[in-house]
Amino acid sequence: MTTPPLTSASVLDSKKIFYNRFLLIVAGLGGLLYGVDVGIIAGALPYLEATSGLNRAELSIVVAAVLLGSVISTLFAGLLADWIGRKALMAISGVMFVISIPMIALAHGYGPLVLGRLLQGTSAGLIGVVVPLYLAECLTASNRGKGTGIFQWLLTAGIAAAALIGLLFSFRLEHIVQTGDANAIFAFKNSAWRGIFWVSLPPGILFVIGTLMLSESPRWLLKRERNDAAYAALLRSRSTEQADLELKEMQDLAAAETLKRQSGTKVKDSLLRRKYVIPFVLACVILACNQTTGINSIIAYNTNILLQSGLSDFAAHLGYVLFTFINFFVTFAGVMLVDRKGRKFLLSLGTAGIIGSMLCTGILFRQSEKSGIDSRSVLQSMVTPGQTVKLEYNQDTAANLLAASGKAASDTPTSLVVIYSYGDFRAASQAVRSDDPAAKPIEISREDAVPANRVNAFFSNPFGNLEAARTAPLKIENALVTPIPAPSHGWIVAITLFIFMAFYAVGPGVCVWLALSELMPTRIRSNGMSVALVLNQAVSTAIAAIFLPTVGEYGYSTMFFGFAAFTIIYFVTATWFLPETKGKTLEEIEAHFEGTR
């Protein structure tokens, strides 16, 4: 039996299948870059801290520069996407990422490091808006969920890869430490943080090359009255029938908007119409609630959380790697389910699971934290005339603090977190365990709490008096000595966090980008996405700012209970107010909010 020859139609179908897969790969690389931007500093920071000579305030700005760059670029990403096009902006964001890597990896000094990180953050902010926007406008309704899900999936891959790279360098460092050669240890640490950044360069180059081979968004082309180009772009990924139908929907919608403008119906065409307001508010609520689940803080402080729950240093780092892998693999499951089960179902399932897991984690921490002792008066008496404190925290120190507070000492290891302030500016020390012989002393100084300039002061406390803080006395607001639970308790906490990560990954993790891009009507999609993402980042920044001070004063349990409470709002919104958008074109979704069929 002979195989029939391929027809021109079947060859064309093969090309379309290949193009759709290629589009998903390129979009996934965008997600990978976004994840690397978020996660890479965690592995590089210990080596950067040991070799750069930067103080804690400068290091915190190096870490936060990505967020600042991301916020600024997100504000203008929608305008830029409308002005130069989705494809061009994706290419520019990729070029920015590629340029930022050698700027950081070859940096010697504070200025180049901050500039490189700002450029990296600018790239992340643009990618976070333009890639989901491009996917929503280019993919068919049946593939849109999977496509945007792959962006999130490879975003988690970027975070997991950054964690693995950091773990690999730490293993190599252990062998060098055994030689006892201080110069070799310093040289390795200096090359390690640079090498961690260099590893992320190839995906950036591939992303730039890939974007240049894609078509422009057909909806952007149609808005520019380039109908033939829009139709050609549709034909690269759709059958002729699908392309004809979708082009007609797009033209009908554009014609209706034009007719309303020409007829002078200003009131009806106002941005305050329900077709604009309701989806915009829904997207903003979902983007804000996505951060109030605590996801960014739980990722950023995961190792510290596990250390305080009772795990050893190695077990805590191992727990973090497992945490990132759960995020990666369960996100893939969410990608497979999102176009089958729908966005509404996965968001409801995910948020319900987050509420349960956060309540369990909070209860577990509450059991150990209720026996914590506040030793603020003892530490306040240790403040030097220069308004600083330096404290080696070990079992003997813990016993002295407990005795001074009227409590009997015990052999149980404890942790100490200090919350302190100079005037209007507060800071928190890292949690230090009394059974950790390698722990650095707690060092409290003005430069770690008071910003160096007015720009940094605005982001730390927009209402703070910087001049007064530069001469204000040191005030110890809280110094909590808390017993460290048994390792078995730590693993139970780790399991509740793994469950949290699984439910987040299968629901909000996959669906948040879809909600952002699908809900926004065509007229406000790009700028609406920018505003919603800025709100998302503002909430994330606010949570990051209060996380350590709140933990130091009230314990981890308070934060976890707070995350559970805010996620209830998320669950209610997803279950009762969010429409199902599975299998609908963007024009059909827009018609739903208009109240028409």
CA 269 vs. chain centroid, Å, equals 36
What is the pLDDT, as a whole number, of residue 376?
A: 86
Residue 297 or 409, more confident: 297
Residue identified by tokens 């520069």 is 65
Give per-residue pLDDT as tens, 357-382: 999 999 999 988 877 788 888 889 89
Q: Which residue has the higher pLDDT, 597 or 196?
A: 196
Q: In this predicted structure, what is the pLDDT of residue 427?
A: 81
End-to-end CA distance of the chain: 51
How far apart (Å, rounded) are the C-alpha atoms in residues 221 and 226? 5
Q: Which of 89-103, 220-234, 315-329 has the highest mean pLDDT?
A: 89-103
Average pLDDT in the 409-434 region?
81
Q: Is the pLDDT of residue 328 over 70?
A: yes
Question: Using one digit for the tens of pLDDT, what is the confidence trace for 37-80?
Answer: 777 776 677 778 777 777 666 776 787 778 778 888 888 888 88
User: What does R_g of the chain's alpha carbons equal in angstroms?
Assistant: 26
In this predicted structure, the answer to whether residue 596 has a pLDDT above a threshold of 60 is: no
The rounded percent of the chain whose pLDDT value lies above 70 is 90
pLDDT category of residue 495 using cuts at 50, 70 and 90: very high
- Tell me: pLDDT of 118 over 50: yes
Give Cα 2 to chain centroid, integer Å: 55
Q: What is the pLDDT of residues 214-272, one digit of tens each?
A: 889 888 888 888 888 888 888 888 888 888 888 887 787 777 766 766 665 444 455 56
pLDDT for residue 313: 66
At residue 208, the pLDDT reads 92
Average pLDDT score over the chain: 81
Is residue 520 a contact partner of residue 279, using CB atoms and an 8 Å limit?
yes
Q: What is the pLDDT, as a whole number, of residue 11?
A: 41
pLDDT of residue 459: 63
Dmax over CA atoms of the chain, in Å, equals 95
Read off the pLDDT band of 310 (50, 70, 90). Answer: confident
Section 281-289 average pLDDT: 88
Closest of 595, 594, 586 to residue 250, by C-alpha: 586
- Residue 449: which pLDDT band, with cuts at 50, 70 and 90? confident
Q: Is the pLDDT of residue 86 over 80?
A: yes
* Bigger pLDDT: 175 vs 465: 465
pLDDT band for position 6 (cuts 50, 70, 90): very low
Domains, the chain = 11-217+272-365+501-594 (1.20.1250.20), 373-489 (no CATH)
Q: Both tokens of residue 149?
A: 């899900």
Mean pLDDT of the 198-217 span: 89
pLDDT reported for residue 498: 96
- Residue 104 pLDDT greater than 80, yes or no: yes
Whether 143 shows a pLDDT value over 50: the answer reads yes
Contact 416, 398 (CB under 8 A): yes
pLDDT at 96: 93
Side-chain half-sphere of 458: how many Cα atoms within 13 Å?
3
Of 86, 27, 90, nearest to 218 by C-alpha is: 86
pLDDT at 52: 77
Alpha-carbon gap, residue 275 to 290, rounded angstroms: 23
Position with higher pLDDT, 120 vs 63: 120
Cβ–Cβ contacts within 10 Å for residue 108, how many? Answer: 8
Query: If we measure between CA atoms, which residue out of 485, 482, 493, 478 comes closest to residue 552?
Result: 478
The pLDDT, as a whole number, for residue 321 is 81
User: pLDDT confidence of 452, banded at 50, 70, 90?
Assistant: confident
How much is the pLDDT for 482? 83
Which pTM value belongs to this model? Answer: 0.74
The whole-number average pLDDT for the span 474-496 is 88
